[in-house]
Structure 1
Amino acid sequence: MKNNGSLGMNRRALLGSFAATFVTAAPTFSNAAGFLRGAGDIRRLRMASPRTGEKIDTIYWIEGDYIKDAVKEINLFMRDWRTNDVHNIDLRTIDVMAAAHNLMDTREPYLLLSGYRSPKTNAMLRSRSRGVAKNSRHMVGQAADLRLNSRSVNQMFRAAKACRGGGVGRYSRSNFVHMDCGPVRSWGG
């Protein structure tokens, strides 16, 4: 009996050491593209728009190359739904979104609240809210405001922040997270 107890203790100690080694050895990534390099040979983006009712589930990158038609589809999906203006979405923003989604380990598509915004739309939103930047990255296709029903704003915020691929804003009261490919920074409550 005594040996079983000490064997159990040793087993627990061994498992504890293994777990500590696993956590210590877990890779860290300095940016979203770095994180996605470890994700295999494909990159995928899933989104739905509550504004238009549209959905997208596309593989946009395979074996080191962006798929031109898939990126065009993402650009169209992330258009300014108020004016129907389409703009090229910065590939780094798409990568940040995909990397954060992978970190959250969910198949649920993002709800896209805002992707590209025309200057006209941005000015209108700015007149209604103090939280809209005059020179918003949305106007140059470098930002997205996203929500997931299965994840909290804090979970999304932490996942996007862990990617270190750009700016991450937490908007708890409005239930969304802003992700962009600008300088690495974070804000919000």
Structure 2
Amino acid sequence: MNTVSPPAGRVTRRKLVCALGAGLATPLLSGCAARGYEKLPPPTRSGSRLDFVFPKGDSYLDISNAHTGERTALRFMKNGRTDRRALQRLDWLFRDWRDGEAPSIDPRIYWGLAALSDAVRRQGHSGQITLLSGFRTPQTTRLLQSRGGGAASNSYHMRRRAADIQFAGIPTEEVANIAEWLQVGGVGRYHGSDFTHIDSGPIRTWRG
């Protein structure tokens, strides 16, 4: 099913605060996270706006993978409880599509994306997300580096804690502004390639 994206528009910080205040055939790959990956941190981070906003909002996500064409639309939390099957479907969408490896993604990434999506839907946009890059294996990282893609050797993508995204109808700068306000973690603005990077590492910002 295709959706029609609203025209691009600004989501100001004032509008964001008002909006958030108002609301204040997929494989099941259990066990993939045990393949030698580091233990993920808890999804909560004391004192961040995301930890205050997300529980009051909607966990609905509508995400398309730009490389595979797959689309997943679901809620990954219901009545305060995590839906493990929903997370498994999201983890598969976020897999390294080059080799099919799909370990568990840090739930905080999904928290951040849901809060972003909820905020822009309150402003009349679809909230639909295009995923450009989720999990990446070391092999994929080396491949991208060999092609001059600028992938970092210590990338949070390899640690299952990052996503490169576009929001339908929302300019990159505005997506980054909301993510930065939410204190999701790392926020990178890549205007040349027209995407926003978020990760669940320390709070910081940069331009690529």
TM-score range with shorter-chain normalisation? 0.7 to 0.9
Residue type matched to 1:118 in 2?
Answer: T
| Contact 2:105/2:161 (<8 A) preserved | yes
**Deviation readout 1:135-175 (Å, 9 max, x if unpaired):** 11111210000012301001111111111021010000000
Cα pair 2:117 2:127 within 8 Å, conserved: no
Partner of 1:37: 55
Structure 1 segments, 4+ long, off by >3 Å, are 26-29
TM-score (norm 2): 0.73
Give the Cα separation in 2 of the matches to 1:158 and 1:139. 25
Matched position secondary structure for 1:162: helix
Q: In structure 2, how many angstroms separate the alpha carbons of the residues matched to 1:132 and 1:103?
A: 29
| Aligned match for 1:151, one of 157, 170, 182 | 170
In the TM superposition, 1:15-164 aligns within 5 A as: 30-39=48-57, 42-105=58-121, 106-129=125-148, 131-164=150-183
- Deviation per CA, 1:64-120, whole angstroms, max 9, x where unpaired? 211000000000011011111111100011111111122222324211000000110
**Structure 2 residue matching 1:139: 3-state secondary structure:** coil
**Structure with larger Rg:** 1
| Letter paired with 2:49 | N
CA drift of 1:50 comes to: 2.1
Query: Residue 118 of structure 2 contacts residue 127 of structure 2 at CA under 8 Å; is this kept in 1?
Result: no
1-structure distance, mates of 2:179, 2:87: 21
**Aligned partner letter, 2:55:** R
- Structure 1 unaligned spans of 5+: 1-21
- Secondary structure of 2:88's counterpart equals helix
The one-letter amino acid paired with 2:105 is: I
Question: Alignment identity in percent?
Answer: 31
The 1-side partners of 2:74 and 2:68 are apart by: 18
Question: Do 1:153 and 1:175's aligned partners in 2 also have CA atoms closer than 8 Å?
Answer: yes
The 8 Å contact of residues 169 and 187 in structure 1, kept in 2 or not, is answered as yes
Higher relative contact order (CA 8 A, sep 6+): 2
Matched-pair contact (CA < 8 Å) for 2:126–2:168: no
Quick one: which amino acid aligns to residue 80 of structure 1? D
Question: Is the 1:33–1:92 Cα contact (8 Å) retained in structure 2?
Answer: no
Which AA in structure 2 matches 1:50? A
Where does residue 7 of structure 1 map in the other structure?
none
Residues 92 and 181, structure 1, Cα contact 8 Å, conserved in 2 = yes
Larger helix fraction of residues: 1
> What 5-or-longer segments of structure 2 have no aligned partner?
1-16, 25-46
> Structure 2 counterpart of 1:82, which letter?
R
Query: What CA deviation, in whole Å up to 9, does each residue of 1:1-47 have, x standing for no partner?
Result: xxxxxxxxxxxxxxxxxxxxx96xx58983323211221xx411110
Query: Quick check: 1:87–1:140 contact (8 Å CA) kept in 2?
Result: no
Match of 1:57, SS state, is strand
Paired letter, 1:43: S
